[in-house]
Structure 1
């Protein structure tokens, strides 16, 4: 019998969600329903107002209720500048008699990659293994079952501020959702949308939303660094306002009602505004990734609700990339229109979660292991009201 997975992605002041049915026997994934709901009590995964955030999430759960026939697994995507990232490594001496590496040794090496002097203000939300080395020998794809004296694992760590994370946890708990996995949305996007060739040759992933930007940098097949910026297409509106000498609200109204190609002059204004916005993003990325980004990444992948085909050419020139493209989650079996770029994050969370589950890869933070006690009951109560 298929099982359900529900992904929640907090995109600025909008909650996006995707519900999928997974058949483990045939390894097929069917998207049952997707939704977008404005909730200004959230800014990314940062809670601005507890009561409003709970109300917004309950409405999302209520809409999903008619598509759920059993308790779902839930994966929550984190976005926002309360996230930080770091490449690390973990070491484990193999102390079993026959020196064979198993799950226990791999798990210990992964967990040993977390710094022991980690600040009390931070909490690890995800540990992504990336490389393995046995007795100094590199290039190992899977160490399980191999013999050796020492195991070293290269990892990519994602942290979140404890206070912000606790607020999100309290809202989810109040919505009768006690069990869920937490993952950075950007990591799910990078691991889902980029090809292995792009990761090896070097790639910059840019996820552009209305109020936020997420960036990931890959080189030689390794995820090197990540960045969360607290602005996005809202900077484009500011640039349009400056060019038209209007206020930002008027400029946003013009953008909301504008169709590309309808007015040649406005096309040029918007292109100039997008160029200014992307130049600002590029400046932040060059500063944040200065230790890793000695040369421009040859591949640029744009995704998110703010990314368009028209923007790819401009971004390619600004980021000095050899190739640029839009990143989409393809090969989907879907019962609903799920091709809107705004749903890419939620769909990537589902894909990435299943891949890690299948490969038994890494450690994502999980809250309250067990059943979703009362989840469907709460949804039923919502519809009664």
Structure 2
């Protein structure tokens, strides 16, 4: 019997959600319903007002309940500048008699990549293993079953402020959703939309929303860094207001009715405003990624509600990319229109959670030893057991 999975993505002051049924035999996701709701009680996944946030989430659950029977598994995407990212590494000496690396050793090396001096104000949300080294020999794709004395694992860590997470947890609990999987939305997008070839050649993922931008940087197959910026299409409205010598509210109303190609003068105004917006984003990225971005990433992938065909050309020039394209979640069966770019995050969360479940099952998931990463993977595996 197909199982239901619901994803929630907090996009500025908008909640987007996608409901899918999972066919166990084919591992196919069928998208049953998608929705987008304005909720000013959220700014990304940051709760501005508890009562309003509870009301907004409850309405989403009520609408989704019309399409399913029973309780779905829930994946929640995190966005906002309360998130931070860091590349790290963990080390483990192999102390078993035959020196064979197994799930326990891999799990311990991954847990050891979390800094011991991590601030009490932060909580680890996600750990992505990226590279393996055995006895100084780098480039190992999968260390399980190999012999060695030492194992080193390169990881990519995602953190969030504890206070912000507690507020979100309390809202979801009040909405009768006590169990769910938390994932950074940007990582779900990156791992779903960016190809392996692009990751190896070098890629910059830009998820452009109304009030925020999520950025990921890949090179040589490794996720190097991530960034959350409070800088989105709201800045475009500010630039349009300046160019038209209007207030921002008037500019926002003008942009709501704007259709590319309908007014040549307005096309030029919007193009100039988008150029200024992208230059501002590029400046922030260059400052944040100065240690990694020695040369421009050759591949640029744009997604999110602000990703349009019209903006691709300007973005390619400003970010000095050789190739630029729109990121689209494919290989999905849909029962409803789901091609709006605003739904990309919610769809990626579904796809990424399923891919992680498939890749981890039979590895660390099956170890019963308690611990940070084991607990996370157990929770991931349980997501698909309902």
> TM-score, normalising length from structure 2?
0.94
Are 1:290 and 2:301 matched, yes or no? no
SS at match of 1:155: strand
Structure 1 equivalent of residue 65 of structure 2: 65
Deviations 1:359-379 (A, max 9, x none): 11884858989999xxxxxxx
Would the aligned equivalents of 1:180 and 1:367 in 2 still touch at CA under 8 Å?
A: no
2:208 maps to 1:208:
yes
Aligned match of 1:38: 38
Pair 1:119 & 2:126 matched: no
Equivalent pair of 1:181/1:366 in contact (CA under 8 Å): no
- 1:39-63 CA distance string (max 9 Å, x none): 1000000000000000000000000
SS in 1 for 2:254: helix
Shift of 1:71: 2.2
1:244 aligns with 2:265: no
343 and 285 in structure 1: CA distance in 2 versus 1, 3 angstrom threshold: same
1:24 aligns to what? 24
Q: Secondary structure at the match of 1:158?
A: strand
Native 8 Å contact 2:186 2:216 kept in 1 = yes
In structure 2, the residue matched to 1:381 is none
SS at structure 1 position matched to 2:63: helix
Structure 1 residue 275 displacement after superposition = 0.1
Cα deviation per residue 1:321-370 (whole Å; 9 max; x = unaligned)? 00000000012101111111011001111111111111118848589899
Residues 1:304 and 2:278 aligned together: no
CA gap 1:41/1:367 in 2 versus in 1, 3 angstroms? farther
| Change over 3 Å in CA distance of 1:121–1:85 after alignment to 2 | same
User: C-alpha separation between the residues in 2 aligned to 1:22 and 1:108?
Assistant: 32
Shift of 1:138: 1.5
**Residues 181-210 of structure 1: CA deviation (Å, up to 9, x unaligned):** 110000110010001010001000000000
Which structure 2 residues correspond to residues 127-276 of structure 1 after superposition, within 5 A? 127-276=127-276
Q: Segments of 4+ in structure 1 off by > 2 A?
A: 361-372
Residues 186, 275 of structure 1: CA spacing in aligned structure 2 closer, same or farther, 3 A cutoff?
same
Decide whether aligned partners of structure 1 residues 115 and 370 sit closer, same or farther in structure 2, where only a CA change above 3 A counts: closer
Check whether the contact 2:181–2:379 (CA below 8 A) recurs between aligned residues.
Answer: no
Q: Is structure 2 residue 97 aligned with structure 1 residue 94?
A: no
Aligned residues: 373
The superposition leaves residues 136-159 of structure 1 with CA deviations (integer Å, 9 ceiling, x where unpaired) of: 112211111111111111100000
Q: Which moved more, 1:69-78 or 1:41-50?
A: 69-78
In 2, the alpha carbon distance for the partners of 1:191 and 1:358 equals 14
Could you list the runs of 5+ residues in structure 2 that have no partner in the other structure? 365-372
Listed as ranges, the gaps of 5+ residues in structure 1 are 373-385
Partner of 2:79: 79
Output the CA distance in 1 between the equivalents of 2:35 and 2:203. Answer: 30
CA contact (8 A) 1:86 1:156 kept: yes
Matched residues in 2 for 1:201 and 1:172: separation?
Answer: 40
Q: Please say if 1:354 is aligned against 2:354.
A: yes
3-state DSSP class of the match of 2:348? helix
Distance 1:41 1:128, change over 3 A: same
Give the match for residue 331 of structure 1. 331
Task: Check the 8 A contact 1:124/1:365 in 2, yes or no.
Answer: no
